[in-house]
Amino acid sequence: MVGSILIFLLVLSVLVIVHELGHFLVARKSGVWVEEFGLGIPPRIYGKKIGETIYSINLFPFGGFCRMHGETSEEGIKKPKKAFLNKGKLARVTIVIAGVVMNFLLGVAAFGVVYSFSGIPQESKNVKLIEIVTGSPAQVAGLLVGDVVKGVNGEAVNSINQFVDLIEKNKGKKITLETAQNKKIILTPRTSPPSGEGPLGVVLTTTEIFFPPVWQRPFYGVYYGFKDALFWGKTVIVGFASLIGQLFMGKVPNDISGPVGIFAVTTEATKFGILSLVNFVGILSINLAILNIIPFPALDGGRLLFIGIEAVMGRKVLPKVETTIHMIGMAILMLLILAITARDIEKLIKAGSLTGFIQSVLK
């Protein structure tokens, strides 16, 4: 359990630190004084000033922060030209979205690493058996997982749809399957198979794993990692839209989890190896990027919203007013997280085990 907690804290810390690093790098590039860049949550244990910035290690080993000069208030500004609030709208926008961009890039990198080591999935014309139900016609006849079906009754097979059509037309009749392994299997597709098994009792795929030369894998990885990041980004956006819709309809969403749920799934992902964990980090990073861009106070999207209001009105919202609104937004977010966490704990208790809880989370 201690190991799982440490991995969980490490995963979330990586996500937060990468996000804050984006703010840090662009702020420095934009001429904003970064007063402190810290690992963990204060109080500070150790700090070293390099240039104008204090780099610190803090007591609670979770996440990190980037404290910019004049970030939320005009009070106490010592260097007006290097204060965040005094920078132009474009500079502030780029600083704010830098964290989101970094999380998106982390997702791309994570997916890219997975593809680089596990191979690139590609569609082919090979209809391959990846699962065979015990006691099914396929299993009784001697078909094996990994067999590639090349023909049915002498007719070449190049796709799953074609194979399914041929089997459907010949239910209840003896047929001959030819495989790439030079086997000829005679069997009879069932006319009334059990639910979910199909006439033969097999699961098929036309996806094959391609391993390009080692020097090419990072490039393939980034390409397919970017496609995965876009896919998960779209999935998260659709999920949030559905969540907001349910809230407006007065329904309490059942498919949302907080820190406890993330801890449970992180623990489960770890069991399947480092690549599974890296893939999950990628998914979480995309989630964090989308979450942060939502125009809600205390989030990066909320700060962008105030910059947008400034552009429309032609003047800034009073910093004190904006700060107060962000504090209220943060309080609402904390209450929401506590409520979700309480519900996750209740679900965990009812499930009776971590595995049962994970299954409920993934439904």
Domain of residue 179, CATH code: 2.30.42.10
114, 243: one domain: yes
Low-confidence ranges of the chain (pLDDT < 50): none
Q: Rounded CA gap, 313 and 318, in Å? A: 12
- Of 210, 231, 257, the last residue of a domain is 210
23, 68: one domain: yes
> Given this model, what pLDDT does residue 304 score?
92
pTM assigned to the model: 0.78
Q: Packing angle between helix 259-271 and helix 354-362, nearest 10 degrees?
A: 110
Q: Which residues contact 363 (CB under 8 A, 6 or more apart)?
A: 255
Q: Which residues contact 23 (CB under 8 A, 6 or more apart)?
A: 66, 68, 95, 96, 98, 99
Cα end-to-end distance, the chain, whole Å: 24
> Are the C-beta atoms of residues 254 and 344 closer than 8 Å to each other?
no
55, 177: one domain: no
DSSP state of 81: G
Does 285 reside within a domain?
yes
> Given this model, what pLDDT does residue 360 score?
54
Q: Rounded CA gap, 312 and 204, in Å? A: 56
328, 350: one domain: yes
- Of 190, 210, 230, the last residue of a domain is 210
132, 112: one domain: no
DSSP state of 255: S
3-state secondary structure of 115: helix
Q: Look at the chain and report how many structural domains it folds into.
A: 2
> Given this model, what pLDDT does residue 355 score?
56
Does 215 reside within a domain?
no
Look up the domain containing 310 and give its range.
2-118+220-362
3-state secondary structure of 257: coil
- Of 210, 240, 262, the last residue of a domain is 210
